[in-house]
Amino acid sequence: MSDAGKLGALSDDVKSSWHRFLDVFEPVRPELYRYCRSLTHTPWDAEDLVAETLMRGFVTLGTLFVELPNPRAWLFRVASNSWIDRVRRGRFELGLEAAPELETAVTDADGRETRDAAAELVTRLSPHERVAVLLKDTFEFSLDEIAEVLSTTTGTVKSALSRGRGKLHTPALPSTRTADAKVLDAFCEAFNARDVERLTALLLESSTVEIVALVTEYGKDAPKDPRTGSFAGMLAPLTIDDRGGVAPEWLAGYRPSPPRCEVRAYRGGFVVVFWCEHDDGPRVRSVAELATEAGSIVELRNYFFSPDVIEEVCNELGLPFRVNGYRYWLEHEP
């Protein structure tokens, strides 16, 4: 077999193993997202942390020589370590010895504000204190499980809980990254006109277009490829074939037709929502975050296979929605 053939076979093996790994941990995904959302400022950051956790977990699992006695706690440990590493890297790069004190408070009258206040605990708690408080008070981990997650003793966990609970404070709400509304309007106009060339013209050669958890494309050529490009997939009616797609259980009441999109104000910035027709009316099937620069799109992230993000954003915006599950591939036989 040629080197190219060996690489192709290896790629197939890796994809199959990765899909089986995600199949096994799919029942934990909603809770893992809630945990990552509690640690981070936005749904976008939370989904990034979920993806990093799963990828780290996949790699780490291949190095273990024992069975996992508590897969849920193990996965939360991977998420905690990933987040702590991010915080440490960020503080080192910024030269910060401690997070700044924030004096502006919000009320607890709204559920979103309460949740987002919890997501800002990093401004007052050390990473280990925050993990300990969230795992104990929100996710009801035992002291032994938290000690396992943090690779420490139950006595240290008790001390972290005591310090952390004493520092809790309700800070200001964060906002999403901003983007040029005119560029987003131009994107939606081109999308709704099914004009791939106009969509592509909004990109730079250095732009990235991503369907989160599925594919990342670079530059202008890949997104507009009529066979494999993300623009072609985004513009087409929802379907499934032997390569994958949206599983039938997520398509109940769906009326096959081209989707349409529009810009909505969201958290001080903007988000693009994608509508599809259903028997009970139009429903949002995906949301996207776009970053712009000098009149062009530099990054597009479509959260089509991120049901937790779709649910959170649509609930905050008061929009009816349907989700598409976590996977695009066909479920593996046991």
Q: Are 142 and 229 part of one and the same domain?
A: no
Domain that holds residue 55: 3-167
Q: Is 77 in contact with 37 (CB distance < 8 Å)?
A: no
Give the number of domains in the chain: 2
CATH number, domain of 134, equals 1.20.140.160
Strand arrangement of the beta sheet that strand 283-293 belongs to: 215-218, 203-211, 296-302, 283-293, 269-276, 260-266
* pTM for the whole structure: 0.73
Q: Are 126 and 194 part of one and the same domain?
A: no
Helix (H, G, I), strand (E, B) or coil at 329: coil
Of 102 and 287, more confident: 287
Q: Which amino acid makes up residue 53? A: T
Q: Is 190 part of a structural domain of the chain? A: yes
E strand or H helix that includes residue 90: helix 71-94
Give the pLDDT confidence score for residue 118 in this predicted structure.
52
Q: Is 24 part of a structural domain of the chain? A: yes
**CA proximity to 198, closest of 233, 227, 223:** 223
pLDDT band at residue 261 under the 50/70/90 scheme = very high
Q: Is 25 part of a structural domain of the chain? A: yes
Mean pLDDT of 147-153: 82
Of 98 and 81, more confident: 81
Q: Are 124 and 221 part of one and the same domain?
A: no
Q: Is 173 part of a structural domain of the chain? A: no
- What is the average pLDDT score of the chain? 81
Last residue of one domain, picked from the residues 121, 143, 167: 167
Q: Are 35 and 161 part of one and the same domain?
A: yes
Q: Is 44 part of a structural domain of the chain? A: yes
Q: Is 238 part of a structural domain of the chain? A: yes
Q: How far apart are CA 194 and CA 235, in angstroms?
A: 7
Give the pLDDT confidence score for residue 140 in this predicted structure.
83
Give the pLDDT confidence score for residue 302 in this predicted structure.
96
CATH number, domain of 256, equals 3.10.450.50
Q: Are 114 and 192 part of one and the same domain?
A: no
pLDDT, tens digit (0-9, with 9 covering 90-100), for 100-131: 333 333 333 445 554 555 555 545 677 788 78
**Inter-helix orientation angle 71-94/43-61, to 10°:** 120
Q: Is 91 part of a structural domain of the chain? A: yes
Q: Are 202 and 300 part of one and the same domain?
A: yes
Give the pLDDT confidence score for residue 116 in this predicted structure.
53
Q: How far apart are CA 114 and CA 318, in angstroms?
A: 18
